[in-house]
Amino acid sequence: MRSFLFCLLLPFSVCAQHNYRVLFLGNSYTASNSLPNIISQMATASGDNLQTDENLPGGYTFEAHSTDVVTLQKISQGNWDYVVLQEQSQRPSFPESQVQSGVYPYARKLDSLIKDSNPCAQTVFFMTWGRKNGDAMNCQFFPPLCTYEGMDSLLALRYRIMADDNKALLSPVGALWNAIRKDKPGLNLYDADESHPSPSGSYAAACAFYTVLLGKNPDAVNYDYSLPDTTAAYIRNMAKQVVFDSLKKWNYFINYPKAGGFFVQNDRHLQFNDTSDNADDVLWIFNDSTSSSDRNPGHQFPETLSGKVRVMLIASKCMRSDTAYFDFEFDSVTTAISDVSTKSTTIFPNPVQAGQVVAFSQTIQWQLVDIQTKEVARGFGDQMPTQGLKPGIYFLRNEGQQSLQKIIITP
């Protein structure tokens, strides 16, 4: 499995060397020009280690892979960080009814098999590209396939659906090809058959995969494959613009935990409550040299501690982590009630019945004070539980702003 030390206070792109194991399941589109090897060489050039295995019979579909002995054996080996799924090049662009019956069910089946044998693995859907001049073979049966644009847009849509439905990553090779075709039409991404990739096309695919698998900027890689250095540099830069600059769009963070929580203060005793999403483990780190792995720990801070205090919450799952911070002081809150705002973070519902959860329109570092401006709770996230709070009038402060918003808690 992937092995590395968490770089908790640094951007993910500058962390230490990673080791990855990646299984590729597809057909000749992936096999052409040894795409997995190009990706591996790019990883090596950036100081990482990417080990690959594959099963890529020509023309294979998800349906065929779902019962293939070799595919099933490789999936069941386990210990994969990523398993890449590439469907037959035409099937996802067919009419919706055919995709519903012949593609989506087998994508779900393969994803389920992957997760059963590899609880921490991430499925990656390989978004392929439209044929250079459309699908001439099927144009007469389905007019959108008569052009590159029509076929490519359908492939992009269906792979997006599969990635979202299965909470999987999306390697947007087709989107990168589309951008290159528009920006530099003289750069040929296709083999002579106008379907399979040329060396430039495979290198573009490798750049997309390098970015979504490693989460790194391809523009910084010093590996040109067999291409002229100027061509390789151009493709890497396009991959940066299309893929790296929009990692969230391609579901890079979809399986990451999201740290969140709040606390209620009673003098020097604080009751912390974890509201993290998609986390198997949490670690609360207090700034008095102690910590707790309990979900909802209570903590008594020493009398010797004064002034500003910061507590860190690390939520983790499968070697992925997220961190939230909680800043507070033991002194009384001094913010003036007259600073009430009517136009910052949206709060719903408001009024709210005691015991219900208040939702915010954005993720914020928040502070709740009562009518005497005494702090009663503080947290980080896009929601605030009200358990334990007495009915009455309170004021919420988004710590990214200086204003307060009224919240009414009813019985």
Evaluate whether 322 touches 282 at the Cβ level (below 8 Å).
no
351 has a pLDDT exceeding 50: yes
Instruction: Tell me if the pTM is above 0.85.
Output: no
Q: Supply the mean pLDDT for the chain.
A: 89
Q: Give per-residue pLDDT as tens, 176-213.
A: 999 999 999 999 999 999 999 999 999 999 999 999 99
- Token pair listed for 222: 């010093």
332 has a pLDDT exceeding 50: no
- Token pair listed for 106: 């087998």
CATH, domain range 256-331: 2.60.40.10
pLDDT value at position 211?
98
User: In the chain, what percentage of residues exceed pLDDT 70?
Assistant: 90
pLDDT value at position 195?
98
pLDDT value at position 13?
38
Instruction: For the beta carbon of residue 112, count every other beta carbon within 10 angstroms.
Output: 13
Among the ranges 153-162, 333-342, 361-370, which has the highest mean pLDDT value?
153-162
CATH, domain range 332-411: 2.60.40
How far is CA 297 from each of CA 38, 271, 283, 290, 342, rounded to the nearest angstrom?
Answer: 48, 6, 10, 12, 34
Q: Give per-residue pLDDT as tens, 112-166.
A: 999 999 999 999 999 999 999 999 999 999 999 999 999 999 999 999 999 999 9
Least confident of 70-79, 189-198, 269-278: 269-278
DSSP 195: S
333 has a pLDDT exceeding 50: no
Q: Give per-residue pLDDT as tens, 222-255.
A: 999 999 999 999 999 999 999 999 999 999 999 9
9 has a pLDDT exceeding 50: no
Burial of residue 138 (CB within 10 Å: 0-12, 13-18, 19+) is: middle
Q: What is the dihedral of CA 340, 346, 349, 351, to 10 degrees?
A: 10
pLDDT class for 398, splitting at 50, 70, 90?
A: confident
Q: Give per-residue pLDDT as tens, 80-118.
A: 999 999 999 999 999 999 999 999 999 999 999 999 999
Domain 12-250 in CATH 3.40.50.1110: yes
- Cβ-based neighbours of 106, under 8 Å, separated by 6 or more: 61, 62, 63, 65, 66
Q: How far apart are CA 106 and CA 64, in angstroms?
A: 9
DSSP 112-124: HHHHHH-TT-EEE
Average the pLDDT over 315-344 and give the result: 65
Least confident of 17-26, 209-218, 288-297, 371-380: 371-380
Same fold, 12-250 and 256-331: no
**Residue ranges of the domains in the chain?**
12-250, 256-331, 332-411
Name which of 398, 386, 373, 391 is nearest 264 in CA terms.
386
